[in-house]
């Protein structure tokens, strides 16, 4: 079975580029520069119309993953609305103040997703023992985990990712993400045994104009999904 290529996108142009380049699945977000937040209903609808299977990020704000009062309820409603629009799945995460998985919130998210796929995002990279957390996520009924092996990039977390794949067995899929490029994707697959990889396949866009920078609406160029990079990732995997 060929390795699945997921591309994370946060706008209409990126969505089109990912599909044109040969992505097998989209992770749909807003504000990728903040690690990805919940996308708009209109962008979800566009992704669904593209015909490419879409997992939507459900994350109400930037910052850490310890939820404050009311956020879990908001996320549950977003899960329901997103899947009702036709998304194939959702991507979620939550931690306790002591840095472990918030099993209560994650169980509620699993219940809300019903028959939709549910992915535990890179909040798992913040826990003390990502390998043990794989078993917890599997016991909660999660379908997939996106991880860099607890490091800034999948290359740095190669050994932990391999241990996570072993712990997962056939119960849950590990998706290797962060810093995945056409140059290293084959090495990551070979070194970990993952059957799914995740990347932005992006390049820096145009420099914002001086007024936009001066008023604080941007801090530098946004990254833009490049269909040619997606295609090179696809070829490297093949």
131-149: average pLDDT: 98
Tens digit of pLDDT for each residue in 36-60? 999 999 999 999 999 999 999 999 9
Confidence of residue 101 (pLDDT cuts 50, 70, 90): very high
- The whole domain housing 70 covers 4-237
pLDDT tens per residue across span 178-235? 999 999 999 999 999 999 999 999 999 888 889 988 888 888 888 999 999 999 999 9
- Checking if the pLDDT of 1 tops 80, the result is no
CATH of the domain at 146: 3.20.20.380
Max Cα distance, the chain (Å): 53
What pLDDT does residue 92 have? 98
By the 10 Å C-beta count (0-12 exposed, 13-18 middle, 19+ buried), 141 is classed as: middle
Buried/exposed code over 83-95 (b: 16+ C-beta within 10 A; e: otherwise) = beeebbbbbbbbb
Measured between alpha carbons, how far is 91 from 196 in angstroms, rounded to an integer? 15
Average pLDDT of the residues in 7-23: 97
Instruction: Give per-residue pLDDT as tens, 81-95.
Output: 999 999 999 999 999
Exposed, middle or buried by CB within 10 Å (0-12, 13-18, 19+), for 40?
Answer: exposed
| pLDDT confidence bin for 116, thresholds 50/70/90 | very high
Q: First vs last Cα of the chain: how many Å apart?
A: 11
Q: What pLDDT, on a 0 to 100 scale, did the predictor assign at position 217?
A: 87
pTM metric for this prediction: 0.95
| Per-residue model confidence (pLDDT) at position 220 | 83
* Mean pLDDT within 130-156: 97
Q: Give the pLDDT of residue 41.
A: 97
**pLDDT at 2 > cutoff 90:** no
Determine the pLDDT at residue 236. 96
Mean pLDDT (whole number) for 18-36? 96
Higher pLDDT pick, 238 / 192: 192
Domain count, the chain: 1
Report CA-CA distances (Å) from 206 to 2, 93, 220, 221.
35, 32, 9, 6
């Amino acid at each position: 079975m060929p390795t699945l290529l997921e591309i994370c996108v946060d706008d209409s142009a990126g969505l089109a580029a990912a599909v044109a380049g040969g992505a097998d699945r989209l992770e749909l977000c807003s504000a990728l520069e903040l690690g990805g937040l919940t996308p708009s209903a209109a962008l979800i609808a566009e992704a669904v119309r593209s015909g490419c299977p879409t997992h939507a990020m459900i994350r109400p704000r930037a910052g850490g993953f310890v939820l404050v009062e009311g956020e879990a309820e908001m996320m549950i409603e977003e899960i329901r609305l997103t899947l009702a629009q036709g998304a194939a799945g959702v991507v979620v995460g939550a931690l306790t103040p002591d840095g472990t998985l918030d099993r209560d919130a994650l169980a509620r998210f699993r219940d809300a997703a019903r028959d939709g796929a549910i992915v535990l995002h890179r909040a798992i990279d913040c826990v003390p023992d990502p390998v043990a957390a794989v078993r917890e996520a599997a016991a909660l009924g999660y379908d997939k985990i996106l991880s860099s092996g607890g490091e800034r990039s999948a290359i740095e977390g190669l050994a932990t990712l391999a241990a996570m794949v072993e712990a997962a067995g056939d119960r849950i899929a590990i998706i290797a993400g962060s810093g995945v490029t056409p140059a290293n994707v084959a090495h990551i697959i070979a070194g970990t045994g993952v059957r799914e990889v995740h990347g932005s396949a992006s390049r820096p866009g145009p420099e914002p104009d001086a007024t936009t920078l001066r008023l604080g609406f941007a801090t530098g160029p946004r990254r833009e999904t490049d269909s040619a990079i997606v295609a090179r990732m696809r070829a490297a995997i093949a």
